[in-house]
Each structure stands twice: as structure tokens, then as C-alpha cells.
Structure 1
Amino acid sequence: MNPSPFAQRKTLPHQVPSWVGQGARHFVTINARDRAAAPFAAPAVAGVLLDNLRVYETLGKWHIWIAVIMPDHLHFIATFNLDDAIHKTVAAWKGYQTRTIKLQFQRDYFEHRLRDEDEFVEKMIYIRENPVRKQLVTSSADYPYIIGSGGSNW
């Protein structure tokens, strides 16, 4: 019996099924441990997070289609190099941020494989418009902590 009156948070498996090949696109959300403190809001921190997303791209760990750094979380769509497990790549990236800029993240992350072009476009728009929805800017074009276009002209 669980001594806590609250339900235990479930952990999601992040293993990619064998039938998913290289080139699949994944929507990822990573949260700060203390979301109320908005640790990613500082311009220097947000800039470093974007730079480090690009570094992992340069290292061949993923291709970033689009990414946004919000004050307490980040979203991105990536095509991962499946020679490495996705959960290990994300954990290594988070660990690097913790070691170099002392950020604390929630234990896990959310990841969803985008199954078709419609879902890809839907998540691209969701990411691009997140700063507007959260009333940080009136136009996503004005938000400085977003990279990528997704290769579309919409």
C-alpha cells in the first residue's frame, strides 16, 4: 500500500518501437523542476539553451525542426539519430545543462512521435504560438527564443 494519499506519478516508456525508422519526427517537452521560479526566463539562460540545442544538432544527435524556450519549459520537434536511444540523448542534454548552467529539470520529459504531416504542422504551430498563448508577446515573430521554421512556408 502506498503511504502517500496522492497517486504516484507514472513514468512513460521512451523506447522507440522497432518499426519506427530513422527520420521520424518527435515532439518533446522538458520542464524546469521549479516551474514557478521561471528559471529559463533570463535572456542569457534562454540563449544558452537554444545554443545547446544547436550543439547537439552539430554533434549529430538530432535535427531540430523548431524549438521554443519558455520561462518554465521548452518544446521542440526533432528527428533523433536512432543509433542512440532517445531517452539517453535527452538525459545527456539535460545533464549537460545541469552541469554547465546549473539548471534543474523535472525527472522525466514528454515525447510523442508525430505520425503524419498534419500532426507535424499542428505541433509546429503549437510551438510557434506558445509565447503568444502565454501572453509573452503579441506576435510569435517578436519572440526571441524560438529557432527553426520546420521547412514549411506556412
Structure 2
Amino acid sequence: MPNWRRAYVPGGTFFFTVVTDRRVPIFGHPAARAILGSLLRRCQLKWPFEINAIVLLPEHLHAIWSLPAGDTAYPRRWGWIKKEFTKNWRLIGGGEQAVSPGRERDGRSGVWQPKYWEHTLEDEDDFERHFDYVHYNPVKHSLVRCPHEWPWSSFHRWVDAGVYDRHWACSEDARRTMKFDEIESTVGE
């Protein structure tokens, strides 16, 4: 059994991969996307943090969060989001996967994988590689040909802010240069 250890860097910036149970495409449902969006905003009100980047794919999401100075409680935030999402998803009749007796005893649902992937971003280069990875992810998974074609991404906010050109990573040449080998071990896919 793995020895799960989390990095607790006060005020740190973290990359996350959070996956639905058995990779069921729950986020293909508009209601699921709405519930998650609402919960992220509510969570930010309860325990402030900045969402630097986020992309929501049918069965997983990637996000980069920055916590306030002195704060290390991202597990509390993710636990709350996953618990509240499950509760709200069930209320509207959303389906979930069958769980083992052990997971049931532990109070686990069949909506989320029990764990999530976390990587502490170490410097500006690490941040930029993961930031690009988040926004390129729908292309990587062959959901679209260009990041701007995927509506459930912070890419659009960063185009509006002038960080990305709208057609970033759209050409065949640009896609060939998108190499994420050096961070592959840090993204949890």
C-alpha cells in the first residue's frame, strides 16, 4: 500500500489532478459542471485561495491553486469540495459507481477516486510548465484541436488578460513543440 504524503508548504502554489471514480465522464453533464463551479466559488469564500488555472475534462480536472500566506489546508478544501459535490450530485439523481465494502465502511462514495494528485510548484519555470499543461490538456486528450475551442478552461481568462494568444498551440508545428516529458511524473495522469 502506498504511503501517501502531502507537501504542506504554507502559502504555497500547488498543481492538482482530481479524477472521478473509474473515470466516469460525470462532467459531461451540465449540472455536474454547474455544481462544481458553484462549490469552487463557495470554497473560496470559506477558505480563500486563488485559482491560477483550471481545466475541467469529462472525467477529471487539473487546477493550480495558490494559498494565502501561512495556509497549508488544501486537503480541507478538496475534502469539502468532493463531499459537497457528492451530496449535491446525489440530490439531483446523479449516478455513481458501486463501492467495495471497505470503501463503504470508510464512508467513501462512487463519485470520486479516493485520492487526488498534488504537486508543489517549486519555481516560476515549474509553474509555467504546469500552467501550459493545464491549458493544453483538452488538446492532449484529443477533445479539441486548439485550447480556445474547449469552453471549460481558464485559458479564456488568460487570453483576455494577454497572457496567451487566442491561437496558442493551434498549429501543427506548435503542437509538436508541446513536450511535457519533464513534468510527466508530476501531473498524475
Normalising to structure 1: TM-score of the pair? 0.80
Alpha-carbon distance, 1:100 to partner: 1.0
Greater gyration radius: 2
Alpha-carbon distance, 1:59 to partner: 3.0
Q: How far does the alpha carbon of each residue in 1:69-90 deviate from its partner, in whole angstroms, 9 at most, with x for none?
A: 1111111000124546221221
Q: 1:30 aligns with which of 15, 18, 35?
A: 18
Partner secondary structure for residue 26 of structure 2:
coil
Q: Are 2:113 and 1:121 aligned?
A: no
2:20 and 2:77 mapped to 1: Cα distance?
Answer: 18
Alpha-carbon distance, 1:152 to partner: 7.0
Runs of 5+ consecutive residues of structure 2 not aligned to the other structure: 91-95, 97-110, 165-189
Alpha-carbon distance, 1:65 to partner: 0.5
2:52 and 2:162 mapped to 1: Cα distance?
Answer: 10
2:30 and 2:55 mapped to 1: Cα distance?
Answer: 13
Structure showing the higher strand proportion among its residues: 1
| 1:14–1:61 CA distance, 2 compared to 1 (3 A) | farther
Amino acid at match of 2:18: I
Given that residues 26 and 113 in structure 1 are in contact (C-alpha distance below 8 angstroms), is that contact kept between their aligned partners in structure 2?
yes
| 1:32–1:80 CA distance, 2 compared to 1 (3 A) | same
Equivalent residue number for residue 153 of structure 1 = 163
Alpha-carbon distance, 1:111 to partner: 0.6
- Pick which of 39-48 and 70-79 moved more: 39-48
2:79 and 2:10 mapped to 1: Cα distance?
Answer: 21
Given that residues 61 and 89 in structure 1 are in contact (C-alpha distance below 8 angstroms), is that contact kept between their aligned partners in structure 2?
no
Given that residues 10 and 71 in structure 2 are in contact (C-alpha distance below 8 angstroms), is that contact kept between their aligned partners in structure 1?
no
Q: Are 2:73 and 1:85 aligned?
A: yes
Normalising to structure 2: TM-score of the pair? 0.66
Aligned length: 141
Given that residues 15 and 87 in structure 1 are in contact (C-alpha distance below 8 angstroms), is that contact kept between their aligned partners in structure 2?
no
Structure showing the higher helix proportion among its residues: 2
Equivalent residue number for residue 47 of structure 1 = 34
Given that residues 54 and 64 in structure 1 are in contact (C-alpha distance below 8 angstroms), is that contact kept between their aligned partners in structure 2?
no
